[in-house]
Chains A and B, each alone.
Chain A
Amino acid sequence: MAAPYAKLPAWVDYGLIPLINVTVAFLVAGLVVLLVGENPVRAAQLLVQGAFGSGDGIGYTLFYATNFIFTGLCMAVAFHCSLFNIGGEGQAYVGGLGVAIVCLAFDSVFPWWINLPLATIMAALTGALWALIPAWLQATRGSHVVITTIMFNFIAASLMVYLLVGPLKPVGSMAPETRTFAEGAQLPRLDWMLEMFGLTIRSAPLNITFLLALAAAFGVWVLIWRTRLGYEIRTMGFSPTAARYAGINQTKVIVIAMMVSGAMAGMMALNPVMGDQTRLQMNFVAGAGFVGIAVALMGRSHPAGIIPAAILFGMLYQGGAELSFEMPTISRDMIVIIQGLVILFAGALEHMFRPTIARMFHMAGGGTLKPTPQPGE
């Protein structure tokens, strides 16, 4: 992305400024807490305690973080190609369809360790397919991918409602969901992993998808920074003109980047559908696709930033649920505000404090403002 401002040392660019932005977002969120008549410091304490105070708390935190790693990666891959894929929500929703098809077909045929790769492939495939049309239209006909992916979110919602109240619903059932999957399509929990640290888990649905998410994060890092395709994606994102002069096939790069992005979103469906609910439910994505926007912006579109950002949002989700027991006026919707504020300050207003910080550096260090090579680029 072109930075129309003076260069700063890398640690300021990638460490200090994002940190300041996120801190401001949380301070403003604290003002909202104050406005509804509660103590923000106490709220923050309860939140952290709810998220990390018990084995179950940590289990839930990482369970939610799993969703957000996937959707954060979804946004990040698109960001690197300077595409804004708002459709993560819809792609994850349709990804759930891919998971459900495999599970409903093979749950009493294969054990989970065969069904998991099958479902992963189908989830990635359906998610990628849902991104294909917007990608193709952006690449060949110039239709803005933001608008088309928003439209596809709504189309996905209608499609899934139609399927869940119709063809996918078992006969005689009233609830808009599929039947519960048999054991062959239920993923093993990761209780042992937390037990290694001396934690006990009773109900937290943390499952093997968490490890898959970490693997996906590594995969995205390899793809973006260590392959030719990733180089092409980044070139395209940095300057489409340069990419064209370099002989990069723009249509191909846009379509592939969007499909990888959609595949990441689609794979998110594994976690709630196969790992927790063991059936396909209406609205199971529950906004995780949009949280991905905040996660990717906060993590600066780098897997090493996305994982902590996803855990932070997992903490907000889990801690927020606990917090609302103690402070009923602060329901879980507080997280939506925090999410919005993080997107605002770490995304849209990311340059707000930059001139001030640059000036402070100038006054403090004088001539130390040489452009430094930036890691990870």
Chain B
Amino acid sequence: MGMFETLILILDSTVRLAIPLMFAALAGLYSERSGIFDIGLEGKMLAAAFAGAAAAAVYGSAWIGLFFAIIVSTALALVHGFASITHRGNQIVSGVAINFIAAGTTIILGQAWFRQGGRTPALSAEGSRFTAIDLPFAEAVRDVPVLGLVYSELISGHSILVYLAFAAVPFTWWVLFRTRFGLRLRAVGENPGAVDTAGISVTWLRYRAVMCTGILCGFAGAYLAVAQNAGFVKDMTAGKGFIALAALIFAKWKPVPVMFACLLFGFLDAVAIRFAGIDIGLFEVPPQFMQSLPYILTVVLLAGFIGKAIPPKAGGQPYVKER
């Protein structure tokens, strides 16, 4: 196989690996821009993956799976909202709690309902899984040099959720920067007092933001369990929620950079999976280093050595309305 084909294959798996990150990072974007830190992305994604796979297996429909994934993930997002908005609890603590509740509940319920060691039944029935969509002419143009392969391998042949993820990026940008809701959402993350003074409910605005987070995490989980894989495996998110969080910070809380950050982290993962170790002449770079590179890069960025990542000003602080 030539260099070019290898590159296309790596890029193809980059896209597949980046999609859950993209959904989850965009999810975090809504919440964090409204001033609610969310380290519970991982848990919501995991719970959504389980709910999606379980519902898709029981009802035999991928779309019903997606629906339940979104419901469960949004319910957890509302728990986070209840703790951190209504009861002004510590947002980090609440996020940690949600991660654990999701990690434990998915295994216990999975075992109790399906008795397959924490797995859900494999989604083999027609329509119970989001399958690859072949775009028009994908086969016909395959033999066209360079562009043919790019079109047929890289652009075509993904599931609907992949295209939705890419569509969610400009959509999020439009919502945040071109709608009244977006303006208020960003304002409430910077200066909730000013929003309150303008007569807009800080509480309701933030609740809507965490609901957006829940919905997008639902997509992320459904993609993992109902599109990328054919069923739920215990702990299948395996830290993706935290990589998404890293990507969100890496992208400085902006939608389009979020996409690129996720693609970069997906690429690093794809390379680490493809090559056991990379020989750069002097010594061999171990795959573990490639896998930890997203985290290292995020720390370096946070340290302010590549630009400065400034979080929303009111992030993490509960809003106390003056009486």
Footprint of B on A, CB under 8 Å?
Answer: 4, 32, 35-37, 84, 86, 133-134, 137, 141, 143-144, 146-148, 150-152, 154-155, 157-159, 161-162, 166, 290, 293, 297, 329-331, 333-341, 343-344, 347-352
Q: Chain A binding site: helix, strand, loop or mixed by DSSP?
A: helix
Partner of A348, one of B89, B99, B292, B320: B89
Question: Are A340 and B101 in touch, CB under 8 angstroms?
Answer: yes
Contact with A along B76-102 (1 / 0, CB 8 A): 000100111001111111101111111
**Can you name 19 extra interface pairs (CB under 8 A) apart from A143-B303, A344-B83?**
A36-B112, A84-B90, A137-B302, A143-B299, A147-B245, A151-B246, A152-B299, A158-B291, A290-B96, A293-B93, A334-B104, A336-B107, A337-B100, A340-B103, A344-B93, A344-B98, A347-B90, A347-B97, A348-B89
The B interface is mostly helix, strand or loop, or mixed, namely helix
Docked CA distance A56–B82 (Å): 42
The 7 residue pairs across chains A and B that have the minimum distance between CB atoms: A340-B100, A336-B104, A337-B104, A348-B94, A340-B101, A348-B89, A344-B97
B280 CB, min distance to chain A CBs, angstroms: 16
B84 touches A148 (CB 8 A): no
A161 CA / B239 CA spacing, docked (Å): 16
A39 → chain B closest CB, angstroms:
14
- Shortest C-beta distance, A129 to chain B (Å), equals 15
Per the bound structure, the CA–CA distance linking A352 and B37 in Å amounts to 20
| Nearest CB on B from A344, distance (A) | 4
Residues on A with beta carbons closer than 8 Å to the beta carbon of B111: 36, 329, 331
| Cβ-Cβ contact count across A and B, 8 Å cutoff | 151
Contacts of A147 in B (CB 8 A): 245-246, 249, 298, 302
> In the complex the two chains form, is A4's CB within 8 Å of B112's CB?
no
Given A334-B108, A351-B89; A144-B242 close (CB under 8 Å): no
**Residue on A nearest B246 in the bound complex, by CB:** A151
- Which of B101, B108, B296 contacts A329 (CB under 8 A)? B108
Residues from chain B with a CB closer than 8 A to the CB of A141 are 302-304
A339 touching B104, Cβ below 8 Å: yes
Residues of chain B with a CB closer than 8 A to A150's CB: 39, 242, 245
A294: nearest chain-B partner, CB-CB: B100
- Report the minimum CB–CB distance from A191 to chain B (whole Å): 33
By a CB distance below 8 angstroms, the chain A residues around B88 are 4, 351
B89 CB to nearest A CB, Å? 4
Tell me the complex Cα distance, A241–B89, Å.
Answer: 22
Most buried by B among A4, A36, A155, A351: A155
